Amino acid sequence: MSICKKRAFEVLERISFERIAGTDKELEAANIIKAECEKYGVEAHLESFEIDMPEVISASLEVLSPTPWKINCVGIGKSGNTDECGVEGPLCYIENAMDANILDVAGKIVLATGRISPEQMKKIYDKGAKGYILVAGSLYDPEEMIPEIRTGNARKKADEDYNLPGVIIHITDAEKLLRSYPETLRLCLKQDGDKKGTSHNVVARIEGTEKKDEIIAFSAHFDSVIYSSGAWDNGTGSITIMELMHYFLANPPKRTVEFIWCGSEEIGLIGSKDFVEKRKEELNKYLFNINVDMTGVLLGFEIAVCSCEEAVAKYIDYLGKIEGFPISTRVDMYSSDSSSFAIAGVPAVTFARIQPRGGAEIHSRRDAMKYLDPDAFIKTVEFMAKFSDNFVNAKVFPVSREMPKQLAERMEQMKKMFEQSKKKEEKETK
Ligand SMILES: [Zn+2]
C-alpha cells in the first residue's frame, strides 16, 4: 500500500484542533506528525524558532454619547498602548484608507473596513488620529460567531515604531456603530508587545538512492488560527505530504525527498523562512519546493501557483490534460510557504484545492471536517505523486533556477518585507 485515504483521514482527525503558532497545541500537533513519520521508520525531528507573541492584557471600545454602548473587541498586537483612561474622540469612517478617506482624521478614532498598508497607517498617525478600529467576520455570521474575533498584529514598517492603539471588532458591530451616529468613543488598550514564543517545524527525509545531495522539499504548514480546527487549512495539506512520504517509502526515490511541516505560517510564513535561513549555506542542494496549502474539500477546484519558470506551469497544465485531472495553473507568488523558498532562490510551486464562491471557509469555526471528502483528497494526492515522481526521478533535473521577469516585482516587495522583519529582529536582540 503506498497511498491511503483512510489512513490519511485518521491522521487528519487527530490533528484537527486549534493549533495556534507558539502554543502547546501547535507543539502537540508537531509531535503527532513526528510520531506518525517514525511509526513508518522515517526519522523526523523538530526544529524550534522564536516568534513574536504580543500579549494583549486588556482592550475595550465604547460609545460614550449619545447612547453609551460597549462594543466587543480584541486588541491589535504591537499597535500601541493607552493609559487607563484610554483615548477619546469622535468616529471617522475611512473605508479602505485612501488619501481622500483620511483628510480629516486629526483627534479622531478611525474605522477602516479595508486592508491598510503600513504607509497609509503611518499617514493616519502623522495626521493626528488617536486610535483605529478594523473589522473581521461577515455580516451573515450567526450570532454565536460575533464574539469570535481573530486578533492580528499591526502592520508597521520595520524602521518605524509609533504608538497608535488599534482594536478589531466584528463587521456586524461596525455596521451597528455607523448607524448609531456616535458622538464620542473611548478606546483603551494595554499590551506587552515585546513578548516572544517558540514555534516548531517538523522535518523528515528519505535519502535518495542515487543523488543524495539533490533534494526535493515538500512542505505544508500545520499551524492554524484561533476558533478554527484547521482541518482544511492546512490539516489537509499536512496529510497530503504525509501520503507523498508513503508514496516514496513504497517507491524509493533517486533524489532525496524532504518533508517539512511548517509552523507559524499563519503569522507570516515564519516557519518556512526559518527553514531556509538555517540552510542558507546549502540551499543549492534544494532543487525544488512542492508546497501544499489546502486540499480535499468536496466542492472545489484545483490550482497550482508556480513561483518559478513558466515551463513548470505549462507542464502541470499538460500533465493535467494527459491524466484527466482538471487543474488551472499560473505563474505568481502565493501567500504560503512556497514564497519563502522562491525568495531564497529555490523554484517553488503551491498546489491547492480551493472553494467555489459560497463554499467552504477558512480561519473560523467553519473550517471543519464535514466539508472535506477522502475521494476528492486522494485524487489530488495521486496527481501530485505522479507529478513529483517525474521530478524526483528525472534523469536530468529540468527546472532552472532562473525566476521569470513577471515575478520580479512581487518578489521584490515580499523580499523587502522579509528583510525588514529580519532587521527588526536583529535590532531587538541587540
Ligand atoms: Zn493555509
Residues 166 and 204 in one domain: no
Q: How far is the CA of 225 from the centre of ligand 1 (A)?
A: 10
CATH code of the domain covering residue 392: 3.40.630.10
Whole-prediction pTM value? 0.93
Phi, psi of 243 (to 5 degrees): -70, -35
What cell does 390 get? 517525474
Within a domain: 339: yes
pLDDT of residue 420: 63
Within a domain: 426: no
Distance CA 188, CA 198 (A): 28
- Average pLDDT score over residue span 416-424: 67
Residues 263 and 334 in one domain: yes
> If you write DSSP's letter for every residue of 37-90 in order, what string do you get?
HHHTT--EEEEEEEEE--EEEEEEEEEEESS-EEE-EEEPBTT----TT-EEE-
Within a domain: 278: yes
Q: Which of 166, 192, 218 is the last residue of a domain?
A: 192
Within a domain: 428: no
Residues 243 and 305 in one domain: yes
Q: How confident is the model at residue 409 (pLDDT cuts 50, 70, 90)?
A: confident
Residue 250 one-letter amino acid: A
Which residue's C-alpha cell is 543524495? 212
Q: How far is the CA of 81 from the centre of ligand 1 (A)?
A: 31
Distance CA 197, CA 22 (A): 5
Q: How far is the CA of 181 from the centre of ligand 1 (A)?
A: 38
Q: How confident is the model at residue 430 (pLDDT cuts 50, 70, 90)?
A: very low
What residues contact 334, with CB distance under 8 A and at least 6 apart? 291, 293, 305, 307, 350
Residues 151 and 105 in one domain: yes
pLDDT of residue 8: 98
Collapsing DSSP to helix, strand or coil, 226 comes out as coil
Residues 122 and 181 in one domain: yes
Name the DSSP letter for residue 144.
G
Residues 281 and 302 in one domain: yes
Residues 344 and 375 in one domain: yes
Q: How far is the CA of 158 from the centre of ligand 1 (A)?
A: 25
Nearest to 132 by CA among 193, 70, 75: 75
Q: Which of 174, 192, 210 is the last residue of a domain?
A: 192
Within a domain: 427: no
Q: How far is the CA of 236 from the centre of ligand 1 (A)?
A: 10
Q: How far is the CA of 36 from the centre of ligand 1 (A)?
A: 21
Q: How confident is the model at residue 239 (pLDDT cuts 50, 70, 90)?
A: very high
Q: How far is the CA of 272 from the centre of ligand 1 (A)?
A: 13
Core vs surface per residue 62-97: b (16+ CB within 10 A) or e: bbeeeeebebbbbbbbbbbebeeebbbbebbebeeb
Residue 105: domain span: 56-192
Distance CA 33, CA 44 (A): 9
User: Is the confidence at residue 199, as pLDDT, over 70?
Assistant: yes
Within a domain: 121: yes
Q: How far is the CA of 55 from the centre of ligand 1 (A)?
A: 23
Burial class (CB in 10 A: 0-12, 13-18, 19+), 275: buried
Q: How far is the CA of 337 from the centre of ligand 1 (A)?
A: 9
Within a domain: 429: no
Residues 237 and 126 in one domain: no
Residues 127 and 236 in one domain: no
Distance CA 308, CA 48 (A): 28
> 149, 226 in Cβ contact below 8 A?
no
Q: How many domains does the chain have?
A: 2
pLDDT tens, residue by residue, 106-127: 999 999 999 999 999 999 999 9
- Average pLDDT score over residue span 392-415: 92
pLDDT tens, residue by residue, 342-372: 999 999 999 999 999 999 999 999 999 999 9
What cell does 386 get? 505522479
Q: Please, what is the Cα angle at 269 between 266 and 273, to 5 degrees?
A: 155
Q: How far is the CA of 196 from the centre of ligand 1 (A)?
A: 22
Residues 119 and 25 in one domain: no
Q: Which of 161, 176, 192 is the last residue of a domain?
A: 192
CATH code of the domain covering residue 129: 3.50.30.30
Burial class (CB in 10 A: 0-12, 13-18, 19+), 144: exposed
Q: How far is the CA of 28 from the centre of ligand 1 (A)?
A: 18
Q: What residues are paired with 216 via a beta bridge?
A: 257, 288
pLDDT tens, residue by residue, 125-179: 999 999 999 999 999 999 999 999 998 899 988 788 999 999 999 999 999 999 9
Within a domain: 33: yes
Residues 257 and 339 in one domain: yes
What residues contact 63, with CB distance under 8 A and at least 6 apart? 69, 70, 71, 177, 180, 182, 184, 185
User: Is the confidence at residue 428, as pLDDT, over 60?
Assistant: no
Residues 20 and 124 in one domain: no
